[in-house]
């Protein structure tokens, strides 16, 4: 900022004492393969503020080359060029662009308006790069449009205007920043005589108001409008004469520092985004859409697949809680026939309460222990009969181990067991099926052929009737709980049956589940004299194994999505490269109006960023949509998490930047002169 201020104040103080343009021994050589074109040779030229100068010469004599050099769009091969006392070769691109933006207004033979912008926006273009607010810009542009007689055409596009009208817009555009110098390269070359006269009239008016006007022409008649005619032939100045015309103002006159308080020189973000949207994305909608596909697929795949795996994981976790999180279970293997006999010969009672007592005493870190045995029976209450009910004989701290509690009355306790009491706690569904009414506690029901008193009703819990690993999860809502001793005494039928179905130890932490399960396995194996009639089951371990396989699956998804994103990125790069080539002229025009390399870089980078970001957003929607579809069709649970969505957004932005940076760099480094020539 301070640099720009000092630059500008320098400009005004020096302009009063120095010539506005000072060129010494300047030459410009173009290398065309083996050939060398000397477009300008040893030019020496001084122009003072307020002059009206025509640069005349035949085609190919170097007029345009000289004008581009004066306008700081090109750099000389050798020699000095001072603009307002500032040696141009000492300034960087941003300083030069700012100088061009504030002090020079260009008018070209081919008008060079931007086709996507209307009259007002074209007029105000330079002020966009000065960083002014849109409202201010528009009012300035409106005033200028009125001045050039296009006040009623402000929303027309260039294609809707005649050549003369377009050139008037170009003149208004050159005036908008109130520059000191107007550079016009064959401004009437494409116009009829009548319109030409009108344009020349406008340039005269500008000169009268104090501007330095430099007019390039090959036409002698047009040159006669100026007060001074410099003739170029073959890149050399061959004559420099004053005409009979005289400008009303001279050196320094009319130069006053204007208030330029709102010109920051930084392109505003809203302008940048608007520019990228209009000239990039929306100018070629189908193309932008197709370019986004890679990103859309990549992001959608990640979102949908993680939602499905995450949903599955949460589902399993929920099931796990039903069994008990940190539990280790010793289970009777449901052996049949010969192998059952063989094992029972070694260890007659299967998994027993003695095993449980031993484990409770010898394993560290046990929080609670319970054991159970399940049989099926028919139950009755009055005339209501319900068949095929799980009767669970429980021992120990079943409520806390299974995390399943009584909501009415109480659960079976140790005293019941000691007293051999024929009491039961019933699942809520059983209570309903037996029509026990609102107060089941205290009522007597028949289990098998024995009467039992209901002491409690269990809570209603959502049990998903399914399997985790190989252990099925029973619907406890439809179970009846009795003391284990009672079950054994009254319901014992099969002499080879195991005393218990399972012992469940709830550990205090999940830190050493695997180690302890191994120890338990070892102990029980010894207690069973080596019989292979039991299995150790660690639900959490099973879950982790299941997730391990899913992790492999996740890696595959990430790889597929990554490839898709890279392909998407390459698509963006491809389109942006085509864009840069296609829009070379636009880039040239913008540079002439004061855009710095950095401005152009930002414009194209924001374009690719927006393509990627929109792609990412659509991918997000597509991912959520397909996730929900999978849920609907296959009944799989899905869970969407914010972090993955945030990551997806960041990744698509990163892709946009990574693959947009090279095309944007190319755009920024396009030679503005070459861009304007064709
Ligand atoms: P004028 O505007 O007087 O018609 P120019 O300044 O356009 O002339 O060109 C002067 C000479 O320099 C011509 O011979 C032209 O072919 C050559 N020239 C201009 N620009 C380039 C370039 N970018 N590369 C090669 N030669 C160029
Ligand atoms: Mg030319």
Same domain for 365 and 496, yes or no, is: yes
Domains in the chain: how many in total?
A: 3
Same domain for 174 and 302, yes or no, is: no
User: φ and ψ at 21, to 5 degrees?
Assistant: -130, 130
Whether residue 5 has pLDDT greater than 50: no
Mutate to test the pocket of ligand 1, among 37, 74, 216, 218 (most ligand atoms within 8 A of CB): 37
Same domain for 462 and 388, yes or no, is: yes
Spell out the alpha helix ranges (H) of 18-154.
Answer: 63-70, 93-103, 119-129, 134-147
Residue 307 sits in which domain range? 282-317+545-676
Same domain for 294 and 441, yes or no, is: no
| Residue 23 belongs to a domain | no
Same domain for 476 and 621, yes or no, is: no
Q: Domain ends where: 471, 497, 532?
A: 532
pLDDT tens profile 39-50 = 999 999 999 998
Q: For residue 492, what pLDDT is reported?
A: 67
Same domain for 478 and 363, yes or no, is: yes
Question: How confident is residue 550, by pLDDT bands cut at 50, 70 and 90?
Answer: confident
65 Cα nearest atom in ligand 1? 6
Mutate to test the pocket of ligand 1, among 27, 28, 30 (most ligand atoms within 8 A of CB): 30
CA of 215 to the centre of ligand 2 (A): 11
Mean pLDDT (the chain) is 88
Q: For residue 4, what pLDDT is reported?
A: 45
Same domain for 499 and 434, yes or no, is: yes
* Closest ligand relative to 108 C-alpha: 2
Q: What is the mean pLDDT of residues 85-92?
A: 90
Neighbours of 530 (CB within 10 A): 11
**Helices H, strands E: what count in the chain?**
22, 22
Same domain for 145 and 209, yes or no, is: yes
Question: How confident is residue 2, by pLDDT bands cut at 50, 70 and 90?
Answer: very low
Residue of 523 and 6 predicted with greater confidence: 523
Same domain for 528 and 549, yes or no, is: no
Give buried/exposed letters for 151-170 (b at 16+ CB in 10 A, else e).
Answer: eebbebbbeebeebbbbbbb
| Residue 88 belongs to a domain | no
Q: What is the mean pLDDT of residues 566-577?
A: 93
Same domain for 56 and 175, yes or no, is: yes
pLDDT tens profile 127-175 = 999 988 889 999 999 999 999 999 999 999 999 999 999 999 999 999 9
Q: Domain ends where: 532, 556, 584?
A: 532
User: Which residue's CA is minimally distant from atom 5 of ligand 1?
Assistant: 62
Encoded tokens for 597: 């390399």
User: φ and ψ at 377, to 5 degrees?
Assistant: -150, 170
| Residue 472 belongs to a domain | yes
CA distance 229 to 248: 17
pLDDT tens profile 242-257 = 887 765 555 444 444 4
CATH number of the domain bearing residue 158: 3.40.50.300
Can you tell me which residue has the tokens 């208030």?
Answer: 259
Mutate to test the pocket of ligand 1, among 32, 35, 60 (most ligand atoms within 8 A of CB): 60
| Residue 38 belongs to a domain | no
* Closest ligand relative to 109 C-alpha: 2
Same domain for 213 and 254, yes or no, is: yes
CA angle 231, 233, 236 (to 5 degrees): 85
CA of 560 to the centre of ligand 1 (A): 52
Residue of 316 and 586 predicted with greater confidence: 586
| Residue 97 belongs to a domain | no
CA distance 46 to 49: 10
Global pTM reads 0.75
631 burial (CB, 10 Å; 0-12 / 13-18 / 19+) is: middle
User: Which residue's CA is minimally distant from atom 25 of ligand 1?
Assistant: 30
Q: For residue 472, what pLDDT is reported?
A: 57
Whether residue 417 has pLDDT greater than 60: yes
Q: Domain ends where: 532, 561, 580?
A: 532
Q: What is the mean pLDDT of residues 559-571?
A: 90
Same domain for 125 and 186, yes or no, is: yes
CA distance 132 to 111: 24
CA of 80 to the centre of ligand 1 (A): 20
pLDDT tens profile 464-506 = 555 555 555 677 888 999 999 999 888 766 778 889 999 999 8
């Amino acid at each position: 900022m301070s640099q720009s201020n000092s630059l500008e104040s320098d400009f005004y103080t020096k302009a009063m004492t120095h010539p506005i343009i000072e060129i010494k021994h300047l030459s410009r050589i173009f290398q065309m393969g083996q050939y060398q074109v000397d477009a300008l040779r040893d030019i020496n030229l001084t122009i003072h503020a307020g002059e009206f100068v025509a640069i005349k010469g035949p085609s190919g004599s170097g007029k345009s080359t000289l004008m581009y050099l004066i306008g700081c769009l090109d750099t000389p091969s050798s020699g000095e060029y001072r603009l307002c006392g500032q040696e141009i070769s000492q300034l960087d691109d941003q300083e030069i662009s700012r100088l061009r933006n504030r002090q020079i207004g260009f008018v070209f033979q081919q008008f060079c308006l931007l086709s996507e912008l209307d009259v007002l926006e074209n007029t105000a273009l330079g002020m966009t790069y000065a960083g002014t607010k849109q409202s201010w810009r528009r009012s300035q542009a409106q005033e200028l449009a009125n001045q050039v007689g296009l006040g009623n055409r402000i929303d027309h596009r260039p294609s809707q205007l005649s050549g003369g009208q377009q050139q008037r817009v170009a003149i208004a555009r050159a005036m908008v920043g109130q520059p000191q110098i107007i550079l016009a390269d064959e401004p009437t070359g494409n116009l009829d005589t009548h319109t030409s006269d009108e344009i020349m009239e406008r340039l005269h008016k500008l000169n009268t108001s104090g501007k330095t006007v430099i007019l390039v022409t090959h036409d002698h008649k047009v040159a006669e409008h100026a007060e001074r005619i410099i003739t170029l032939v073959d890149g050399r100045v061959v004559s420099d004469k004053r005409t009979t015309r005289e400008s009303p103002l001279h050196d320094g006159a009319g130069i006053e520092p204007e208030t330029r308080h709102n010109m920051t020189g930084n392109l505003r973000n809203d302008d940048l985004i608007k520019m990228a949207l209009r000239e990039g994305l929306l100018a070629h909608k189908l193309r932008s859409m197709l370019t986004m596909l890679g990103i859309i697929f990549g992001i959608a795949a990640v979102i949908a697949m993680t939602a499905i795996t995450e949903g599955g994981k949460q589902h399993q976790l929920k099931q796990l809680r039903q069994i008990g999180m940190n539990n280790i279970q010793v289970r009777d293997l449901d052996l049949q026939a010969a192998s059952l006999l063989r094992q029972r010969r070694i260890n007659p009672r299967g998994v027993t309460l003695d095993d449980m007592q031993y484990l409770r005493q010898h394993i560290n870190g046990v929080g609670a222990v319970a054991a159970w045995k399940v049989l099926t029976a028919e139950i009755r209450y009055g005339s209501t009969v319900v068949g095929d009910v799980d009767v669970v004989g429980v021992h120990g701290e079943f409520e806390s181990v299974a995390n399943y509690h009584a909501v009415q009355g109480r659960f079976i306790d140790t005293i019941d067991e000691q007293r051999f009491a024929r009491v039961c706690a019933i699942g809520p569904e059983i209570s309903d099926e037996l029509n026990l009414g609102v107060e089941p506690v205290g009522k007597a029901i028949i289990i098998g052929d024995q009467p039992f008193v209901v002491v409690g009703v269990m809570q209603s819990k959502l049990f998903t009737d399914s399997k985790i690993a190989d252990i099925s999860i029973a619907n406890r809502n439809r179970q009846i709980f009795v003391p284990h001793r009672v079950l054994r005494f009254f319901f014992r039928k099969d002499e080879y049956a195991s005393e218990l179905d399972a012992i469940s130890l709830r550990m205090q932490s999940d830190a050493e589940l695997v180690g302890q399960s191994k120890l338990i396995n070892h102990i029980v194996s010894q207690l069973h004299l080596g019989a292979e009639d039991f299995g150790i089951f660690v639900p959490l371990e099973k879950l982790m194994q299941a997730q391990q396989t899913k992790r492999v699956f996740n890696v595959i998804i990430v790889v597929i999505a990554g490839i898709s994103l890279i392909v998407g990125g390459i698509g963006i790069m491809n389109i942006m490269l085509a864009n840069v080539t296609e829009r070379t002229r636009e880039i040239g025009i913008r540079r002439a109006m004061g855009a710095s390399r950095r401005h152009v870089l930002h414009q194209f980078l924001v374009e690719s960023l927006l393509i990627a970001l929109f792609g990412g957003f659509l991918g997000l929607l597509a991912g959520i949509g397909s996730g929900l579809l999978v849920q609907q069709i296959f009944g799989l649970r899905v869970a969407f998490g914010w972090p993955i969505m945030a990551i997806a957004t960041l990744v698509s932005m990163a892709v946009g930047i990574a693959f947009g940076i090279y095309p944007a760099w190319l755009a920024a480094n396009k030679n503005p002169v070459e861009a304007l020539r064709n």
